[in-house]
Chains A and B, each alone.
Chain A
């Protein structure tokens, strides 16, 4: 028998052996994620009880998670699920929990406080939510109390909306050769400047729709070296509000990793705009915006949907200016809950700490997505 055949036989045998071992004696976590059983740990400690809860929620074993609560009499299992993923479709509806971590805050003989932080993998990147759990001892077992926040209900009402919408009819094949197509919206970059960061050059700026029609916009930039050769071309991807209504301004941020400002001789900006159908609703109030320079360098606030339509995904973009009005930074956050009419939803946007001292004012804009329909 040749050496190759011997090696193949050994590999095949080892594979079969490992499959048999994995099937007969599965690793507990694999068994749990496969839906066979929970990853049961002892609930004889507060942290063990919270870790069990985290595993059950990650595996969407809602029955078991609900059964483990000390305060389950205060809410139904359905309310518990909705408190995690929301009643209405939102960013979390199409996401999964990738990981979680626990952080003990305080413990005594009969009760403990533990933070349970879930890391969601969403279509727009990771999203984290922390729940502060009170854990109580019942006989020899510890049981967490779920900090239920019941989703608010909107009272029956009629919210009048003067529905304002633009529809577009483009040039057709029957039009004569010289007939114009509908003009693309006129947009203008009203501010732009590059900054150098540790991970490369970043181009910041603002774009204005100076037309009377809605625009789908994007901004690309090409860095040109001092000897007039292109270094790189990038666009802003989602660091922009892509739909701009007339006279609306959006910030944009374009990253050029691995480039230093000393290499750059000039920058070619390429704003793009397309005429699209759009709606002027919903109207969202961005309330209680507060800038906290330290600690954390973050902007907090809340979104209040003033329309009757449910907003499923909201993207908050913050523009931060220095004393001279120049853009210092652009940061964003996707809000992971749906915006129900008149119900405030908090947001929090962080910027690099070293830039916090330069921030004098800020402006916030919002891009929304609604899957349609009201409550």
Chain B
């Protein structure tokens, strides 16, 4: 085992020295091989020799009959990169090199979409970056047209086209005015990758309350709370009710349930009721009963 390693190292050293001038005398190499495709190497002369193919993450060895064609089956070389071929006979060593390039047909897309959740109506709020790989996970560096599509649950769609550069393409899109789970798709031909982007309502808009007396208390109820695009604000959003009276005040933070928030507060003559959610203020009601 150790002697084989030593032999290989020696061959590589010799190959490095002879690479520049020894190429092409006893074997004919392809200049470029597509990853995963079959290829062959023609040798000249007679007798037996050993052929080594050395590249990134892969080493192949074949016993060859000089003067014959050595064939490599589909899938023999699949990592893109620069490969060294070494033909070692009893009295000679010849080297050459060739490139294995990523397959031209994309097979996988790695799609990064950010963010996964954002408010509606944001300009360039959604970004998507796609990396294009062949079937052997080699990055396809040749410019490739990519289509980005963002579709809402109601079917509305934004489309952007881009051309990849060094294996990557990206885009930015606006969030729409409609809340829901949007499908963000990157597509090249029949290969696609989908991400879900949740578009959520923005800040409440025109927050209003109404008041009615229930026994010795006042029941305060918001109108259905919506954002400025008409989307219902989700349940759980906190609405703050404040009752101000005679230099004092009472407050309740109540979550929206079924689209509205409702609280009861004590009746005090001359009190003022107000409502707010986050940094958005609503209306005020004076209570003089």
Q: Complex formed: what's the CA distance from A285 to B234 in Å?
A: 22
Cβ-defined contact, B204 with A247, below 8 A: yes
Cβ-defined contact, A290 with B248, below 8 A: yes
Cβ-defined contact, A214 with B250, below 8 A: no
Given A166, A290, A306, which contacts B236 in the complex, CB threshold below 8 Å? A166
Q: Complex formed: what's the CA distance from A363 to B278 in Å?
A: 13
Instruction: State whether the Cβ of A254 lies closer than 8 Å to any Cβ in chain B.
Output: no
Q: Mark the stretch among B41-49, B146-154, B159-167, B195-203 that contacts chain A.
A: B195-203
Q: Complex formed: what's the CA distance from A290 to B255 in Å?
A: 25
> From B109, which residue of chain A is reached at the shortest CB distance?
A178
Q: Complex formed: what's the CA distance from A283 to B280 in Å?
A: 20
Cβ-defined contact, B278 with A180, below 8 A: no
Cβ-defined contact, A283 with B263, below 8 A: yes
Q: Complex formed: what's the CA distance from A183 to B255 in Å?
A: 22
Instruction: State whether the Cβ of A111 lies closer than 8 Å to any Cβ in chain B.
Output: no
> From A177, which residue of chain B is reached at the shortest CB distance?
B110
Q: Complex formed: what's the CA distance from A180 to B236 in Å?
A: 24
Cβ-defined contact, A247 with B238, below 8 A: yes
Instruction: State whether the Cβ of B229 lies closer than 8 Å to any Cβ in chain A.
Output: no
Cβ-defined contact, A178 with B112, below 8 A: yes
Given B117, B201, B248, which contacts A289 in the complex, CB threshold below 8 Å? B248
- A248-B238 in contact given A210-B203, A285-B252, A365-B253 (Cβ < 8 Å): yes
Q: Could you say which residues of chain A place their CB within 8 Å of the CB of B247?
A: 290-291
Cβ-defined contact, A164 with B236, below 8 A: yes
Cβ-defined contact, B111 with A247, below 8 A: no
Cβ-defined contact, B117 with A183, below 8 A: yes
Instruction: State whether the Cβ of B230 lies closer than 8 Å to any Cβ in chain A.
Output: no
Cβ-defined contact, B258 with A162, below 8 A: yes
Instruction: State whether the Cβ of B104 lies closer than 8 Å to any Cβ in chain A.
Output: no
Cβ-defined contact, B250 with A164, below 8 A: no
Q: Complex formed: what's the CA distance from A209 to B250 in Å?
A: 22
Nearest chain A CB to B63's CB is how many angstroms away?
40
Instruction: State whether the Cβ of B257 lies closer than 8 Å to any Cβ in chain A.
Output: yes
Q: Could you say which residues of chain B place their CB within 8 Å of the CB of A214?
A: 236
CB contact list, B220-277 vs A, under 8 A: 233-239, 247-255, 257-258, 263, 265-266, 277
- A180-B265 in contact given A283-B254, A364-B251 (Cβ < 8 Å): no
- A286-B279 in contact given A178-B110, A182-B116, A245-B238 (Cβ < 8 Å): no
Q: Complex formed: what's the CA distance from A366 to B113 in Å?
A: 37
Q: Could you say which residues of chain B place their CB within 8 Å of the CB of A181?
A: 116
Q: Could you say which residues of chain B place their CB within 8 Å of the CB of A288?
A: 248, 250
Q: Could you say which residues of chain A place their CB within 8 Å of the CB of B248?
A: 288-290
Interface set of B (CB-CB < 8 Å, partner A): 110-118, 193, 195, 200-201, 203-204, 233-239, 247-255, 257-258, 263, 265-266, 277-280
A-B contact pairs, 9 of them (CB 8 A): A164-B235, A164-B236, A177-B110, A180-B113, A190-B279, A247-B239, A247-B280, A288-B250, A364-B251
Additional A-B contact list (14), CB under 8 Å, known A245-B255, A287-B266:
A164-B257, A178-B110, A182-B117, A190-B279, A212-B201, A245-B237, A248-B238, A248-B278, A281-B255, A285-B250, A288-B248, A289-B249, A291-B247, A364-B251
Interface set of A (CB-CB < 8 Å, partner B): 162, 164, 166, 176-183, 190, 208-214, 245-249, 280-281, 283-291, 301, 306, 363-366
In the A-B complex, list the 8 residue pairs whose CB atoms are closest, starting with the nearest. A247-B278, A280-B255, A180-B116, A287-B250, A246-B237, A183-B117, A248-B238, A290-B248
